[in-house]
Amino acid sequence: MAIHDTPENGRHKYTRRTIERLEETDAPGHDIYLVSSGSTCPFTIAYLQHLRDMVSWLNVIMLPENKGTAYAINSAWKYREDGQPCVKMDNDVYIHDAKWVEPMLTAIRQEPRLGIVGLKRKDCWEHPDHHNPDLRSTLLMLPRVAGESWLVAERVFHVMGTCQMYSPALLDKIGYLYQPGLYGYDDVLSAHRCLAAGMFSAFLPHIHIDHIDPGDTAYQSWKERHAGQYTDEVIRIAAEYRSGARPLYYNPFA
């Protein structure tokens, strides 16, 4: 989880609520990394320091400056072991079902072509009958062996980056997240890289989540303006991924 909380953006309340729910997640044996990306909010800093000192199974990384969402997530992903999937999640999401990790792992295990599986927000528009082909989805009954439960996934072009799991097979092909600015488009470019790698993305829409940031703040407006500056560049980069002119694999730490 990437965290950039400042006194001005007032996001500490979302961060705390998200982490408190994350602590209730039923995911034994999995590593959780909280990455502060240049946060200056004293409430968040004190809270993360407390977690670092008191909760042994949480890993806290304090980056001195904000180099963007992708860089923060990558700072945790570099500890990935061979064969491990990775989750990228935002610090403003409440996941109602504590058992959300296992269905994502099951989906990746059952369908080797599934590169990115995500949890679907209520403000996502994808559905099977959408008039826009880019938002038209396909419901899939994932392969299984006898005795396993049936799992339905919604195949889409782009899984919004609120909570995504990347399969080990895809990570072996693409390495790390990439974005040209500080905010936005890392998930969009990952969708293009996933397709170019011969894999696909899907939601597990049955898992109930809420985006708890109302999105009507000055910080949200700044994020939208900032991301908008890179739209043309992202279109160019995506075309390079599709054509093979740009390598899918990216490692900012090499």
| pLDDT given for residue 148 in this prediction | 82
CA–CA gap between residue 19 and residue 32 (Å, rounded): 10
Q: What is the pLDDT along the chain (254 residues), one digit of tens a residue?
A: 999 999 999 999 999 999 999 989 988 788 899 999 999 999 999 999 999 998 888 899 999 999 999 999 999 999 999 999 999 999 999 999 999 999 999 999 999 999 999 999 999 999 999 999 999 999 999 988 888 888 999 999 999 999 999 999 999 999 999 999 999 999 999 999 999 999 999 999 999 999 999 888 888 899 999 999 999 999 999 999 999 999 999 999 99
CATH 3.30.450.70 fits 2-243, yes or no: no
The domain spans of the chain are 2-243
Question: Residue 251: its pLDDT value, please?
Answer: 97
Contact 56, 23 (CB under 8 A): no
Of the CA atoms within 13 Å of residue 198, those in its CB half-sphere come to: 4
Give the helix, strand, coil percentages of the chain, each rounded to 5. 35, 20, 45
Confidence at residue 29, expressed as pLDDT on a 0 to 100 scale: 80
Handedness of CA 202, 205, 209, 211 (dihedral sign): positive
Close Cβ partners of 204 (under 8 Å, ≥ 6 residues apart)? 103, 104, 107, 117, 118, 119, 120, 151, 153, 154
